Amino acid sequence: MQNFKTYTLTNAIIVITILMYIVQINMEYGSIILGLNLYFEQGGYWFQPLTTMFAHGGIGHLAMNMFVLYQFGNLIEKYRGKVQLLFLYFVGGILTSLGSYAFMSAVGFSHNLVGASGAICVLLGYVALMDRNQRKGIITWVLVISVFPVLLGLPVAWYGHFIGLAFGFILGFIRR
């Protein structure tokens, strides 16, 4: 039987995200305070690019993001280490939040951005860069999770997925 290491940094990020979601749903206007929105320019600039990665639009949104984070976060942590995972997830996630806010401002969107999928797409972009065998599948998956829900009329920040994927490639080139 393999020795499975359950206490990983990825699992700690997942636990913190779940705890933050519990805080969010028990706060008045929790998703507005923690999400990324127009309050960014009114003082939220110092916390919203980070806290938006911990806020989620519902339990299904949270569960799906944590499932993918578990898979790819643990993969990167195992083969590249905790420091690389921390750098990619948090630096990449914050850059993705800022890029998403810039995109929202440029096109006139004024909604609330929540979820870890931008940071997770950074991880996906990094893995796609490092592993040519998974590249097409990862890019196809990001296209599917970004475009298909929009076609169904679901409120998905598709641009955050693409921005995260791009930052994953960029940070991968920098960290090589």
Helices and strands in the chain: count of H runs, count of E runs: 9, 0
Strand partners, 86: none
Structure tokens at 47: 């916390």
For the segment 63-70, the average pLDDT, to the nearest whole number, is 98
What's the whole-number mean pLDDT along residues 77-84? 96
Between CA 140 and CA 61 the distance in angstroms is 20
The first and second tokens of residue 23, run together, are: 């805080």
Identify the band that residue 41 occupies on the pLDDT scale cut at 50, 70 and 90. very high
CATH number of the structural domain 9-175: 1.20.1540.10
Mean pLDDT estimate for the chain: 95
Dist. CA 65–CA 119, nearest whole Å: 10
Please tell me the distance from the alpha carbon of residue 6 to that of residue 85, in angstroms, as a whole number: 16
pLDDT of residue 1: 45
pLDDT digits (tens, 9 = 90+) for 110-169: 889 999 999 999 999 999 999 999 999 999 999 999 999 999 999 999 999 999 999 999
User: DSSP code of 113?
Assistant: B
In this prediction the pTM is: 0.94
Question: Is 80 exceeded by the pLDDT of residue 5?
Answer: no
The token duo for 154 is 């679901």
Distance CA 92, CA 106 (A): 21
